[in-house]
Structure 1
């Protein structure tokens, strides 16, 4: 009887994927010191965000990520109905997030990125390489969602239009290149210096290449240039695990705070990096009811 009960309470694949997604968001928020971002030291370049709020927001999104994975398991393949279902679930999740945060946008970009990746991972019910999961997420992202609201005045949309750059939507549609080509390889390469330094280096690798629309909105091209150059300088000095790299990291943090620039897009993609990195153990655990 006890063995039967144990099997019955085993979390489903969708629940495990939601667990990994939420933990990735919490670990991204906790990671310190992050340039210009909320972390354990303080609020970074933000007046309306703090660490407890980031934690509350991440936990509030667990039902959304679970529902997205369940929708993919039911659909069984990339399809227009699945894309539309994910869009509605994402919008419902945003409402839940804003309710918890009192109207503050904590994780709108993360809902898009991690929601797609949860759904894509559910479609690969066995183990799959991060690149393959990202490619499936890209196939979903390229499908049109006719119910999606058009908001040309959002911060990201205005930055894309003003500076002629690609935003979070295009990152997903191209298979998350910042994650696959920068974040994950750097995370693995830097683990010799410990997990925290590896995660910081992964964030910096993403920042070194990303046209982060959050930074463009707050600090324009000057902010973006300083972010990218500063991140490259940290990595060139040996990364967050070296004394010289840590000095460069703190200098980059001062620059971002002076400019009131927060690389929120890079932070979302770091969470996506952590999600994909941890996916194999979560997906290979015994599966309960889906």
Structure 2
């Protein structure tokens, strides 16, 4: 590795290990909690949950928890790097370097299993967006839209430090012509704003228990997401099965109904037979829970002000 790159890597590692201000630490804790809460949602179709590993033989709830805890300093470093900044190519480069260093820490914690690579990108951008938005507009409404918009602005700048090795996600995007997590971010996280959060809030208003509400939010995301994890593992048949199955469950009243649960079991059996799981949707559920944690809807149906 060139000396310049070594110096940059060491600087990033120092940033991750450094003490952080209270707001950065709180955002990092919210991000970590969101990852852990997503892992605990049960049942999820062919995904890691409290029942077992789903289609992921190298993962478990315990491994997902270790991964999440290992990333807390990374999320704090991302928040700290965003303080006093505006979306720019320089900020994009700095955040990407911190994220890649955090990915190395995560892989070490999981002994080589990719538990949260996609979530580092998605939630990391939202942590940066929340930091910048908090400085610009504390207390103003429509915080979720604003945070996602700022994250999207950052994502639209090129990552000049990206490794030359092509990732699984990049190969899937090229082969199937889908956008993946990159486009999701660049377009302002539409599956968080227009699927995950609305489904979560609607289920709560109907009195559905929190765990089932989160399952329904995951299913709402799955109905339209071109999930690159599904495509990577089993191609278009898995993606079609996931979208159609999720839509059927919701049409039958959601995961908390008897008919919805029967449809859920059929969907899961189909995905397990294909050895595929909606990992991209799971990352977006975690991101949905992160945004929801920042300022959940108030009891009277309005939106609370931004608060950390």
TM-score by length of 2: 0.86
Relative contact order higher in (CA < 8 Å, ≥ 6 apart): 1
- Asked if 2 retains the 8 angstrom alpha-carbon contact of 1:216 and 1:224, the reply is yes
Give the Å deviation of 1:157: 1.3
Aligned match of 1:270 in 271, 285, 295? 285
Aligned match of 2:95 in 83, 86, 92? 86
Taking the TM superposition and a 5 Å limit, the aligned residue runs for 1:30-69 are 30-69=40-79
- 1:98 lines up with 2:121 in the alignment: no
**Structure 2 alignment gaps of length 5 or more:** 1-19, 297-304
Separation in 2, partners of 1:135, 1:208: 23
Give the Å deviation of 1:240: 1.1
Aligned to 2:172: 159
Taking the TM superposition and a 5 Å limit, the aligned residue runs for 1:105-184 are 105-125=114-134, 126-127=138-139, 129-152=143-166, 154-184=167-197
Separation in 2, partners of 1:144, 1:228: 31
Q: Segments of 4+ in structure 1 off by > 4 A? A: none
Taking the TM superposition and a 5 Å limit, the aligned residue runs for 1:187-226 are 187-191=200-204, 192-226=207-241
Separation in 2, partners of 1:272, 1:174: 15
Give the Å deviation of 1:148: 1.3
Give the Å deviation of 1:69: 0.5
- Asked if 1 retains the 8 angstrom alpha-carbon contact of 2:31 and 2:123, the reply is yes
Separation in 2, partners of 1:64, 1:272: 16
The SS at the match of 1:61 is helix
CA RMSD of aligned residues (A): 1.5
- Asked if 1 retains the 8 angstrom alpha-carbon contact of 2:28 and 2:76, the reply is yes
